[in-house]
Chain A
């Protein structure tokens, strides 16, 4: 059974600080997605990474796919209160369904 483990489960930091959250698996994925979900809403797709070692930037967010395509990280620079939310990673393989991690709940204190 494929699993995606996200860490930390909860993170509360001050505005302006940097942070990194992780998404790890023992399985190889053909692609991996990061989503952000706010209370009462559905998850919103932030990025897709496909190639091992790939790095993608979205303003203050930097996403990296591990060389072996088993793990990924999300780094946020100078966190802002608007970054607060549940960050979910999801992976898929050919001939298999999409699986989601349980998420990292991030709270940025003003």
Chain B
């Protein structure tokens, strides 16, 4: 069974630009969550999608948005990039919605975004 695939693996963008990251979940998984990981803050939850609907959202500004398609693939978009957006962005898929109280998540390798 293929794992979670994130593309691209590495990205360098300039302040003010926008970026779109992609995530293909494990086949059969309907929940996709996105996280931002930085050395200082650790893993911070961005949002969760389940069956194309955003189920939960973390405390990030509106510049961060996402969507999920009917095949469960998901994209995350960050507009008007800031230097502080430099981070490892991780996507995780799960057969369960987080509201079910089960948190098993299978992570991709992440996209390393550097904003210069």
Q: Is the CB–CB distance between A97 and B101 below 8 Å? A: no
Size category, B interface: 20 to 34
Contacts between chains A and B (CB distance < 8 A), count: 71
Among A18-75, those with CB < 8 Å from B are 30-33, 35, 40-45, 48
Chain B residue numbers with a CB within 8 Å of A30 are: 101-102
Q: A42-B4, A42-B90, A92-B98 are in contact. Are A98 and B103 (CB under 8 A)?
A: yes
Say if the beta carbon of A100 comes within 8 Å of chain B: yes
Given contacts A41-B109, A45-B105, contact A97 B42 (CB under 8 A): no
Which residues of A lie under 8 Å from residue B35 when comparing CB positions?
100
Given contacts A41-B109, A42-B110, contact A97 B58 (CB under 8 A): yes
Which chain A residues border B105 with CB–CB below 8 Å? 33, 43, 45, 90, 98
- Check if A11 is an interface residue, CB within 8 A of chain B: no
Question: Are the CB atoms of A88 and B48 closer together than 8 Å?
Answer: no
User: How does the 8 Å CB contact mask read for B40-57 relative to A, with 1 for contact and 0 for none?
Assistant: 011111001000000010
Q: How far is the CB of A30 from chain B (nearest CB, A)?
A: 4
Contacts of B45 in A (CB 8 A): 97-100
Contact of B109 among A32, A42, A100 (CB under 8 A): A42
| Chain B, range 79-116, C-beta contacts under 8 Å to A | 90, 92, 98-110, 112
Given contacts A97-B48, A100-B43, A103-B42, is CB(A31)–CB(B107) below 8 Å?
Answer: no
B103 engages A96 (CB within 8 Å): no
27 of the cross-chain contacts (CB-CB < 8 Å) are A31-B101, A41-B109, A42-B4, A42-B90, A42-B108, A42-B110, A43-B43, A43-B105, A45-B104, A88-B42, A90-B105, A92-B98, A92-B103, A94-B99, A97-B56, A97-B98, A98-B33, A98-B105, A99-B45, A100-B42, A100-B44, A100-B45, A101-B42, A102-B41, A102-B42, A102-B43, A103-B43
